[in-house]
Amino acid sequence: MSFLPISYKSPRVTVIGAGRVGSTLAQRIIEKNLADVILLDIIEGMPQGLALDLLEARGLELHNRNIKGTNNYAETANSDLVVITAGFPRKPGMTRDDLLKVNSKIVVEAAKNAIFYSPDAIFIVVTNPLEVMTYLTWENTGLPKHKVMGMAGVLDSARFETFIALELGVLPADVKAMVLGSHGDLMLPLASSATVNGIPITELLDAETIEKLVERTRKGGAEIVELMHTGGAFFAPASATSLMIESILLNQSRILPVAAYLQGEYGLNDVFLGVPCRLGSAGIEKILEVNLNDTEKATLHTSADSIVNHINTAKAILKNQ
């Protein structure tokens, strides 16, 4: 079977991990006409089959992007962007350290292989635990900090916006809200700056209702796992990742919450954490420091401490392997 030649003009995105998040992301990228996609997985035949299936829909979906499935990193060469989704979601009975152990190894291997063939790429990490995996990717690619980032804040913000929109019965696109901090129990949904077309939600909802929506956002991932039994969310994570890719490839300069490497911002150092960033063709072009109250600042610092501990655990695990 021959593969249609990839246009030299098209940007090239490699998606590592062709599971539910990776394959849905590949679909979003080509169907939004953003880039050609190389879909890589460790399982033989699986990314090739998915790619062929997506290619056969090309005429029906009326886009003109190519997709290729592979098990070989050499075929990812010269990608503009690499997305790492390889790894496993937490299963029942698995501790955080167990997950850290299995996913650290997978992500480090993916990062090293991908950077070898695409030394100029920008990397977006999706695998959990997110901030730790993003740190390991940054460290093992040797890339400058603006070229490595984690996807979590866009997803968590979309969840918060959805819950606000459902509560008010308005169009979700009219709701603007940011979730900063870590992708976990300590995430920081910023209710004070959330608006519906400029109207603060604090004028539309009482404090108790807002707190309920914040709590549902914090547990957004777990709510889906509980309903599905067989794994976690993947449609909205893929949409959130494709939004970041779009802002980078089309140089849109969107301000999005992204897990970025901090060097003094928010009083934090040597850690990846969700903060508002301007995303353009260079990657993270600016980190914005917004005013936070003392409780919000404390939450960010507690999250950062916990992430640093997990980074150290991951490094120790990798050293002893």
Query: Taking CB under 6 A as the rule, which mask of x and - marks residues 224-253 in contact with ligand APR?
Result: -------xx-x--x----------------
Minimum CB separation of residue 104 from ligand APR in Å reads 11
Active site residue 183: yes
> 239-271 b/e with 16+ CB inside 10 Å = b?
bbbbbbbbbbbeeeebebbbbbbbeeebebeeb
Decide: is 88 part of the binding site for ligand APR (CB under 6 A). Answer: yes
Q: Cβ(275)–Cβ(307) under 8 Å?
A: no
Query: Taking CB under 6 A as the rule, which mask of x and - marks residues 185-224 in contact with ligand APR?
Result: ----------------------------------------
Decide: is 128 part of the binding site for ligand APR (CB under 6 A). Answer: yes
Task: Please work out, in degrees rounded to the nearest 5, the angle formed at the alpha carbon of residue 20 by the alpha carbons of 15 and 22.
Answer: 10
- The alpha-helical segments, DSSP class H, found in 4-152 are 20-31, 46-56, 58-61, 96-117, 130-141
Binds ligand APR by CB under 6 A, chosen from 26, 39, 110, 258? 110
What separation in angstroms does the CA of 289 have from each of 104, 256, 263, 286?
30, 12, 12, 10
Minimum CB separation of residue 162 from ligand APR in Å reads 17
Catalytic residue among 146, 183, 301, 310: 183
Minimum CB separation of residue 85 from ligand APR in Å reads 5
Query: Which 10-49 positions form the footprint of ligand APR (CB under 6 A)?
Result: 16-22, 41-43
Task: Measure the CA–CA gap between 139 and 261, rounded to whole angstroms.
Answer: 11
Comparing CB distances to ligand APR, the nearer of 3 and 88 is 88
Comparing CB distances to ligand APR, the nearer of 13 and 210 is 13
Question: Which is nearest to 188 in space by CA: 196, 178, 198, 197?
Answer: 178
Name beta bridge partners: 34.
Answer: none
- In total, the chain counts a number of residues equal to 321
Task: Measure the CA–CA gap between 252 and 264, rounded to whole angstroms.
Answer: 26
Comparing CB distances to ligand APR, the nearer of 109 and 139 is 109
Decide: is 159 part of the binding site for ligand APR (CB under 6 A). Answer: no
Q: Which residues are catalytic?
A: 183
Which residues contact ligand APR (rule: CB under 6 A)?
A: 16-22, 41-43, 85-89, 106, 109-110, 126-128, 231-232, 234, 237
